[in-house]
A and B are shown apart, each in its own frame.
Chain A
Amino acid sequence: MTTIEKPAYKVIGTRPIRPDGVEKVTGKALYGADVHLPDLVHGAVLRSPHAHARIRSIDTSAAEALPSVLAVVTHADLPAVADTVIDTGEGVTRASDMSLNVLAGDKALYRGHAVAAVAATSAHEALAALDAIAVDYEPLPPVLSVRDAMRADAPLLDENRRTKQPDGALSDGPSNVAAHSRFEGGDLEAAFADADAVVEREFDTKMVHQGYIEPHNGTANWNPDGTLTVWTSTQGAFAVRAMLAELLRLPVSRIRVVPMEIGGGFGGKIGIYLEPLAALLSRECGRPVQLTMDRTDVFQATGPTSGGHMKGRLAVKDGVITAAEVSLAFEAGAFPGSPVMAGAMCMLSPYDVANFRVDAYDVVVNKPKVAAYRAPGAPNAAFCVEQLIDELAREANADPLAFRLRNSAREGTRMITGVAHPRIGHEETIGAARDSDHYQSPIEGPNRGRGVASGFWFNAGMQSSVVASVNPDGTVNLIEGSTDIGGTRASLAMQLAETLGIPYDDVRPTVADTDSVGHNDVTGGSRTAYASGQAVYEAGLDIQRQLVERAARLWECEAEDVSFVDGELRHASDADRRLTFAELAGKQMETGGPLQGRGSVVARSPGAAYGVHVVDVEVDPDTGKVDILRYTIAQDAGTAVHPAYVEGQMQGGVVQGIGWALNEEYYYNEDGRMENASFLDYRMPTSLDLPMIDTIIVEVPNPGHPYGVRGVGEVPIVPPLAAIANAIHDATGHRFTELPISPRRVVEELHHLR
C-alpha cells in the first residue's frame, strides 16, 4: 500500500534478477576461503580454555622450533596503540580494547579469546603446533551475567575500569559497569500517582548469535615494502582498513582491503578478528597467510549480541500511556560497547510518552565482546516494553493495535532524546496490520493465541561514494564500495538506471576494493540502499549534467536549451534535435572524452523505519512446544526499490526473531564454557519450523531521499520477540518474561517444575 501518489517510476518498484545471483547459485562466487595465492600458507589460532584467567606467560619456543612452523605471534607482536576511539559506523570501540581482543594481553577474558596464532606449512601442521605453545594461566572466577557483574563483590574484568556516570564523571570505585546513562523527561512520579493502572515486570534475555552461514576468514599478504593486502569477508572494507591501520600502526594508503563475497553478516562482520593475525603472521614469514574459523570459533570468539536484564514500569490514564520507567542492563562481553543505548533510545520511539526515566547500563562480563546484530539492542528492549504495552492495553480494555494507534508517535513527536520525529509511518503501518486479512480473521481453537508488537529502528546515513563510467554502447559500470548483503547491487543499479532513464540491465554494478573507489562506511544501519543510493543518484545527476553540456556543444547551443528527459537529450525549441543516452554515449571521444559520474555524500536524513507484526501461535502445554501458525508483518519501507528484496529482508528479520524468541541462546556452564557452540544445539529455526511469512509493504516516502527510500533490513527483527511472547500469553494466560521461550521453559513454568 502507498500513502501518497508515487511518481511514475520506470525501474524502481520492479523486481529484476540480482547481478550476483547466477554466480552464487552456480557456486562460482568467490568467498574469503576461496582465495588462493602463490605460496599461500595456512594458520591456526590458540584460544583460551578459560573464561577468565591471568596469563602469566606464553612460551612459543617449542612451537617455533618445529620444522613445519613458519611464524608464531602473540599480543607482544602487536604495536602499542594510541588510546583512540574507532568509529566503525555501527558502534565505537577503543583501539586498545580492539588490540586486546584480537590477541589477549595479560588476561584472557572469555573462553575462545585468541592467545596466539601460528602459520605452518599446512593447516594440520598449524593445528598440531598449537599444542606446542605453553601458556601459564592463573584461572580467575568468571562473571557470566549482568546481575552477577553488577554486584559489589563481583570479580573485576579490569581493575582499572570506572563507571562513566550520567553526569560524565567516573565512579570512585572500580566496577564492571562501563557506563550508566539516563534519559529523563516530564514528571514521572506525578504520572504514576495519577494513573488508572500501572504494570511492572522484570525481563531477562540471553546472548544470541547472528548465525550467518559463512564463518569468518582472513587472508593477508604483507610485502617487504610495508604494503599490506587483506582479502576478507566483511560488511565494510574501509572499516577493516581503518582498524588495521590503527592496530598495526600503518598509513591507511599502505593497506588494501579486498572485500570478497559475504555469506551473511547481520552486523557481526564489522569488527575484525583474524585479519590482523594473518597480517602479523604474513609479515613474519614473508608469505601470504590464510586463517579461517570453524563454527565453534564463530560462536565462542566473534561478536554475538547482548543478553541482559530489564525492568519496566508503565502507566496508563484514560487510554493514554502517561509514564514509562525502564532500566536496561546489557552484557557488553569482555570489553565495553553493548547496544544498550540504542535499545534505550528505540523502545519508546513508536509512542508519545510524556513522562519517562530510562536508565541504561553497559556491563562487561566474561563472554565474547558483542558485535552489532540487526537493529542492535532494539529487539531485547522491545521484548520488555511491548509486553508491558500489551498488558496496559488489556488494563485499558483496548484492542492492542487500537491502543498502539492511540498512543503512536507521529511527525513532531519528541523521542526521549528530545529530537522530534520527521515524517514517519508508524500510524500507517499499524493501520495496514489492523486491516490485514490476518488481523481481521478470528483466531480459534484451544491453546492458540495472537500477539502483536511494534518496532522502531533509526536507520543510518553516513558516508558513501560511487563512480559510474558510461560505455560507448550506452551501458554503464557502477563502481561502489558497499558490501552487498541484502541485494544492494541490484537496488543501487536500479536507482542509477532510474536516474539515467535507462534499463536496469544496462547498469552493471561492482563492489570494489579500498584502492578503487572513494570511502564508504559499512553496510550496516540499514543504510546502503538509502545512503549509497543517494550517492548513486548524485552520480546520475553528474552524468546528466555532463550529457547536457556535451549535447549543447554538439548542437552549438546553450546548455539551458538542452534538457534530459526519459533518458533522452532534447533541444528546447528544435524537436528534431534529439539524442538517446546510448547515441550520445557513442560520441564520447568527440564530446570531451571518457564520461564518468561521481557521487559522494554524507547522508543525514535516513528516515526511521517502523514495523508492526501480528503472529498466531499454538502451544502444546504438555511438551511446551510453540508452533507459529501464521505471521504477518507490515513495514514502512519509504519507497520499496526492489519489493522482492524488501520482502526478503522483512521475512529474514522475522525468522531470526522467531529463533531468538523460541530457542536460541548461548548456553553456558558455570565455568563460562558455551556448551552449545554448534548449529545442532544452537537452535536456529529451519524451514520446517516456519510458516509462510506474509508481508505488507507500507510506503511513506522518506523526505530525506530523492526517491523516498528508507532502510528496511533491521527493523523487522525488533518486534518478533515481544509479539510471540504476547501471543503465547494469549494462548496460555501465562506471561513469559525470560528468553528463550523454549519447550523447556514452557513446561517448567506451566507445570511449576522449578
Chain B
Amino acid sequence: MKEIDYLAPASLDEAYAALQNGKTSAFLAGGTDIIVQLREGRKQVDQLIDVKHIPELMRYGWTDGGGLAIGASVPFAEIYEDAEIARRLPCLIDCATLVGGIQIQSRACFGGNIGNSGPAADTVPALIALGATLTLGSREGTRELPLEAFFTGPGQNVLAPGELIVTVNVPPQPARSGAFFHRFIPRNEMDIAVVNVGARLELDAAGERIAGARVSVGAVAPTPLFVEEAGAALVGQAPGEEAFARAADAAAAAARPITDMRGSIAQRVHLTRVLTVRALRRALERAREA
C-alpha cells in the first residue's frame, strides 16, 4: 500500500476545493469499506478526504414537512438510538442495526453505504422503499435525485467528479403506511446479504385495499433494484398472501443475479420471492399499527 495524503476539510467549500486539486480521491467517513479496499489493493487513490468534520454532513433532523434529513456521515448508531426516529421510521432501524456490529455501526453511515454502491448494501432497499432521495453537492451547487437513480453498477454511481453526498432525505411517510427491511444471510451475523428486500405498503382509508407500495431488492443485480412492477401488482389489491405472492413473482422476475460464493442464481431468485413476501407481511403489520 503506497502512501496516501489525508485531508480533513472543515466545510463543504473546503471539501469541494480538495476534490479539485488534481489528485484521485476517496471519501473517508467511517472508513469501514474504504480502509479495507485500500489495504487489500482493490482501490488506489492519492488522497483520503475525511468527511466527518463538515457540519452539514454530521447532523440530522426533521424537516418542516415531517421528513428526515440525515447528514451523509452521521453514524448509524446515532440514528438508531434516536427514539423519535425509531418510532416514526422503524424501517430505518431495521437496516441501521443490521450493518456490521456495534463498532461498525458507531462509525459507518448511510452516506458511506450508499457511496460505496455495493449491490448488496443493506441500507439501500430500506431507503428506496421509504422513497428516499439524495442531495449531492459540488462547487456548482446542489442537486437532488431519487436514491434508485444513483447507482450505475457494482461500486459505481452517478456522482460526478467534484461532487459528494451531502444528505440522505427520507420524505414524510404516507398515512396508514408501514415499511420493513429484511435480509437473508447464512449466519446470524458477519455476512453480506444473499438477498435483501425493503417494502412499504400504504393502505386506503378503510384499511381494506393497498393504496400504494414500493418494493426494492438488493444483491440480485449489478445495482439495488427498485421493482415498480411489484408495487404495481399490489395497488388496488386486498393486502394478503395472494397479492404478496404476485408482488413476489414480479420481484423475482426483475432479479438477474449471479452465482458466486455468497449464493447461486436459483437460490437468489427463490429467496427474492420468499423475502418479498416476508417483508410485505411485516410492512402490513406496521401499516395497520400506524
A3 at interface by CB-CB < 8 Å: no
Judge if B62 is at the interface, Cβ distance under 8 Å.
no
Q: Which residues of A contact B191 (CB under 8 A)?
A: 680, 683
- Are A753 and B270 closer than 8 Å at their CB atoms? yes
Please tell me which stretch of A112-120, A558-566, A619-627 contacts chain B, meaning at least 4 of its Cβ atoms lie within 8 angstroms of it: A619-627
B4 to chain A, nearest CB (A): 12
Name B39's closest neighbour in chain A (CB-CB): A294
- A656–B170 Cα distance when bound, in Å, is 43
Chain B residue, CB-CB nearest to A659: B187
Q: Interface with A: B200-208, B232-240, B258-266, which one?
A: B258-266
Q: Is B102's CB within 8 Å of the partner chain A?
A: no
Q: How far, in whole Å, are A625 and B275 apart by their CA atoms in the complex? A: 13
B270 contacts A751, C-beta separation under 8 Å: yes
Docked pose: A568 CA to B51 CA in angstroms? 72
* Chain B residues within an 8 Å CB radius of A748: 264, 266-267
Say yes or no: B261 contacts A681, CB within 8 Å: yes
CB of A742 closer than 8 Å to a CB of B: yes
Report the minimal beta-carbon distance from A607 to chain B, rounded to whole angstroms: 37
- Chain A residues in 8 Å Cβ range of B188: 686, 688-689
What residue in chain A is nearest B195 (Cβ atoms)? A623
Count of chain B residues with a beta carbon within 8 Å of a chain A beta carbon:
21
Q: Mark B228-247, 1 if CB is under 8 A from A, else 0.
A: 00000000000000000000
- Given A124-B1, A124-B2, A663-B186, A681 and B262 contact (CB-CB distance below 8 Å): yes
B1-20 at interface with A (beta carbon < 8 Å): 1-2
Tell me, in angstroms, the Cα distance from A689 to B185 when the chains sit together.
Answer: 12
A675 near B261 with CB under 8 A, answer: yes
A751 to B264, CA, bound (A): 14
Contact A753 B267 (CB under 8 A): yes
Q: Are B264 and A623 within 8 A (Cβ)?
A: no
B274 within 8 A of A: yes
Query: Which of B1, B190, B266, B267 contacts A743, CB < 8 Å?
Result: B267
For A751, the chain B residues whose CB sits under 8 A away are: 270
CB-based nearest A residue for B271? A623
Q: A124-B1, A680-B191 are in contact. Are A747 and B262 (CB under 8 A)?
A: no
Instruction: Identify the interface centre among B184, B187, B194, B274: most chain A CB within 10 Å of its CB.
Output: B187
Residues on B with beta carbons closer than 8 Å to the beta carbon of A588: none
With A751-B270, A753-B267 as known contacts, state yes or no: A680 contacts B187, CB within 8 Å.
Answer: no
A713-754 interface with B by 8 A CB criterion: 742-744, 747-748, 751, 753-754
| Interface of chain A residues 226 through 257 with chain B (CB within 8 A) | none
Closest CB-CB distance, A179 to chain B, in whole Å?
32
User: Does B189 interact with chain A (Cβ within 8 Å)?
Assistant: yes
The smallest beta-carbon distance between A111 and chain B, in angstroms, is 15
Q: Is A685 an interface residue (CB 8 A)?
A: yes
- Asked, given contacts A124-B2, A623-B274, A675-B260, whether A744 binds B187 with beta carbons under 8 Å apart, the answer is no
Bound complex: CA A673 to CA B137 (Å): 41
Which of A127, A128, A667, A743 interacts with B186 by CB under 8 Å?
Answer: A743
Looking at the assembled complex, report how far the CB atom of B254 sits from the nearest CB atom of chain A, in whole angstroms. Answer: 18
Which one of A124, A623, A742 has the greatest number of beta carbons of chain B within 10 Å? Answer: A623
Say whether B192 faces chain A, with CB atoms less than 8 Å apart: yes
Q: How far is the CA of A124 from the CA of B3 in the complex (A)?
A: 9
**CB atoms of A742 and B186 under 8 A apart:** yes
Smallest Cβ distance from B37 to chain A, in angstroms? 13
As a 0/1 sequence over residues 252 to 290 of chain B, the CB contacts with chain A under 8 angstroms (1 = contact) are 000000001111101100110010000000000000000
Of B2, B186, B190, B192, the residue contacting A625 (CB under 8 A) is B186
Chain A neighbourhood of B266, CB < 8 A: 747-748, 753-754
CA separation between A751 and B267, bound complex, in Å?
10
* Residue A68, interface by CB 8 Å: no
B1–chain A nearest beta-carbon distance, Å? 6
Per-position binary interface string of chain A over residues 127-144, scored 1 when its CB falls under 8 Å from any chain B CB and 0 otherwise: 110000000000000000
Q: Does A121 contact B (CB under 8 A)?
A: no
Contact with B along A656-668 (1 / 0, CB 8 A): 0000001100010
Contact B189 A688 (CB under 8 A): yes
Interface residues of A in 649-696 (CB under 8 A from B): 662-663, 667, 675-676, 679-681, 683, 685-686, 688-689
Q: In whole angstroms, how far apart are the Cα atoms of A662 and B191 in the complex?
A: 14
Known: A663-B186, A680-B192, A688-B189. A744 touches B260 (CB 8 A): no
Given A124-B2, A676-B261, A681-B262, also A747-B187 (CB < 8 A)? no
Query: Is the pair B261, A743 in contact by a Cβ cutoff of 8 Å?
Result: no
Which residues does chain A contribute within 8 Å of B2, judged by CB atoms? 124, 128
Query: A744 and B190: CB pair below 8 A?
Result: no
Kindly supply a per-residue 1/0 record for chain A positions 278-315, scoring 1 wherever the CB is within 8 Å of any chain B CB and 0 otherwise. Answer: 00000000000000000000000000000000000000
For the complex formed, measure the closest distance between the CB of A253 and the CB atoms of chain B, giving whole angstroms: 41
A624 to B264 alpha-carbon distance, docked (Å): 13
B184 touches A744 (CB 8 A): no
Q: Mark B164-186, 1 if CB is under 8 A from A, else 0.
A: 00000000000000000000101
Please name all residues of chain A whose beta carbon is closer than 8 Å to the beta carbon of B261 when the two chains form the complex: 667, 675-676, 681
| Closest chain A residue to B190, Cβ basis | A686
Report Cα–Cα, A662/B188, bound state, in Å: 13
* A-contacting residues, B199-232, CB 8 Å: none
A748 to B189, CA, bound (A): 23
State in angstroms the CA–CA spacing of A172 and B72 once bound together: 69
Measured in the bound complex, the distance between the Cα atoms of B1 and A680 in whole Å is: 21
The contact of B267 among A675, A680, A686, A747, by CB within 8 Å, is A747
The complex places the Cα of A18 from the Cα of B184 at a distance, in Å, of 41
Which residue of chain B has its CB nearest to the CB of A754? B266
A688 and B187 contact, CB distance less than 8 A: yes
Q: CB distance B262 to A624 under 8 Å? A: no
Chain A proximity of B109: nearest CB distance (Å):
20
How far is it, in angstroms, between the C-alpha of A124 and the C-alpha of B184 when the chains are bound? Answer: 39
Inter-chain contacts of B184 with A (CB < 8 A): 623, 625, 743
A753 to B192 CA separation, bound complex (whole angstroms): 22
CA distance A622 to B266 in the complex (A): 13
The reply to whether B264 and A744 contact each other, CB–CB distance below 8 Å, is yes
> Contacts A623-B271, A686-B188, A688-B189: A743 and B194 contacting too (C-beta < 8 A)?
yes
Q: Which residue of B lies closest to A627 (CB)?
A: B188
B-chain residues with CB within 8 Å of residue A662 when the two chains form the complex: 186
A622 to B263, CA, bound (A): 15
Nearest chain-B residue to A682 (Cβ)? B261
Per the bound structure, the CA–CA distance linking A676 and B263 in Å amounts to 12
CB distance from A153 to the nearest CB of B (A): 27
CB–CB B260/A686 < 8 A: no
A683 proximity list for chain B (CB < 8 A):
186-187, 190-191
- Whole-angstrom distance between the alpha carbons of A686 and B184 in the complex? 16
A624 touches B189 (CB 8 A): no
Determine if A747 and B186 form an interchain contact, defined as CB atoms under 8 angstroms apart.
Answer: no
A127 to B40, CA, bound (A): 12
Residues of chain B within 8 A (CB-CB) of A124 are: 1-2
Select A689's contact among B187, B264, B267, beta carbons within 8 Å. B187
Q: How far is the CA of A686 from the CA of B100 in the complex (A)?
A: 13
The distance from the CB of A663 to the nearest CB of chain B, in whole angstroms, is 5
Do the beta carbons of A624 and B187 come within 8 Å of each other? Answer: no
A747 surroundings in chain B (CB, below 8 A): 266-267, 270-271
Q: Complex Cα distance A127/B39, Å? A: 12
Q: Report the minimum CB–CB distance from A46 to chain B (whole Å).
A: 14
With both chains docked as a complex, state the minimum distance between the C-beta of A457 and any C-beta of chain B, in angstroms: 28
Closest to B277 in A: A622
Residue of A nearest to B273 (CB): A622
Closest 4 CB pairs of A and B: A753-B266, A667-B261, A676-B261, A688-B188
- Which residues does B use to contact A, with CB under 8 Å? 1-2, 184, 186-192, 194, 260-264, 266-267, 270-271, 274
A–B Cβ pairs within 8 angstroms, 16 of them? A128-B2, A623-B271, A625-B184, A662-B186, A663-B186, A667-B261, A675-B261, A683-B191, A686-B189, A686-B190, A688-B187, A742-B186, A744-B186, A747-B266, A748-B267, A754-B266
Interface residues of A (CB under 8 A from B): 124, 127-128, 622-625, 662-663, 667, 675-676, 679-681, 683, 685-686, 688-689, 742-744, 747-748, 751, 753-754
4 additional A-B residue pairs with CB within 8 Å, beyond A680-B190, A688-B189: A624-B267, A683-B190, A743-B186, A747-B266
